[in-house]
Amino acid sequence: EVQLVQSGAEVKKPGESLKISCKGSGYSFTTYWIGWVRQMPGEGLEWMGIIYPGDSDTKYSPSFQGQVTISADKSISTAYLQWSSLKASDTAMYYCARQGPDDYGDYWGQGTLVTVSS
Amino acid sequence: QAGLTQPPSVSKGLRQTATLTCTGNSNNVGSQGAAWLQQHQGHPPKFLSSRNNNRPSGISERFSASRSGNTASLTITGLQPEDEADYYCSAWDSSLSAWVFGGGTKLTVL
Give percent of chain B above pLDDT 90: 84
Please tell me if residue A2 touches chain B, with a CB cutoff of 8 Å. no
Q: What is the DSSP string of B31-97?
A: HH--EEEEE-TTS--EEEE-TT-PPPTTS-TTEEEEEETTEEEEEE-S--GGG-EEEEEEEEETTTT
B5-63: pLDDT as tens digits: 999 999 999 999 999 999 999 999 999 899 999 999 999 999 999 988 889 889 999 99
- For residue B9, with 0-12 CB atoms within 10 Å meaning exposed, 13-18 middle and 19 or more buried, which class applies? exposed
- The whole-number pLDDT of residue B76 equals 96
Interface of A with B in 84-103 (CB under 8 A): 95, 97, 99-100, 102-103
Please tell me if residue A41 touches chain B, with a CB cutoff of 8 Å. no
Please tell me if residue B36 touches chain A, with a CB cutoff of 8 Å. no
Cα-based angle B1, B51, A33 (whole degrees, multiple of 5): 75
- The whole-number pLDDT of residue B2 equals 58
Interface of B with A in 69-88 (CB under 8 A): 86, 88
* Minimal Cβ distance to A62: which of B44, B50, B98: B98
Q: Averaged over A87-101, what is the pLDDT?
A: 95
| CA atoms in the 13 A half-sphere facing the CB of A105 | 31
Rounded to whole angstroms, how far apart are CA atoms B10 and B67?
19
Please tell me if residue A104 touches chain B, with a CB cutoff of 8 Å. yes
Q: Averaged over B90-110, what is the pLDDT?
A: 93
Rounded to whole angstroms, how far apart are CA atoms A21 and A37?
13
Rounded to whole angstroms, how far apart are CA atoms A24 and A34?
9
Q: What is the DSSP string of A7-76?
A: PPPEEE-TT--EEEEEEEESS-GGGS-EEEEEE-TT--EEEEEEEETTTTEEEE-TTTTTT-EEEEEGGG
More confident residue, A68 or A101: A68
- The whole-number pLDDT of residue A16 equals 98
Rounded to whole angstroms, how far apart are CA atoms B81 and B75?
16
Residue A106 has pLDDT above 80, yes or no: yes
Q: How far is CA A112 from each of CA A52, A104, B75, rounded to the nearest angstrom?
A: 21, 19, 31
- The whole-number pLDDT of residue A9 equals 98
Residue B1 has pLDDT above 80, yes or no: no
Rounded to whole angstroms, how far apart are CA atoms A65 and B103?
21
A76-85: pLDDT as tens digits: 999 999 999 9
Distance from CA of B77 to the nearest CA of A (A): 23
Distance from CA of B82 to the nearest CA of A (A): 20
Q: Name chain B contacts of A110, Cβ cutoff 8 Å.
A: 44
Distance from CA of A60 to the nearest CA of B (A): 7
Residues in chain A: 118
More confident residue, B56 or A19: A19
Left (φ > 0), alpha (ψ -120 to 50) or beta: where does A49 sit? Answer: left
CB neighbourhood size of A7 (10 A) = 17
Would you say B28 and B100 are in contact if contact means Cβ atoms under 8 Å apart? Answer: yes
Q: Averaged over A13-37, what is the pLDDT?
A: 97
Distance from CA of B71 to the nearest CA of A (A): 17
* Minimal Cβ distance to B44: which of A59, A60, A108: A108
* Minimal Cβ distance to B45: which of A45, A100, A102: A45
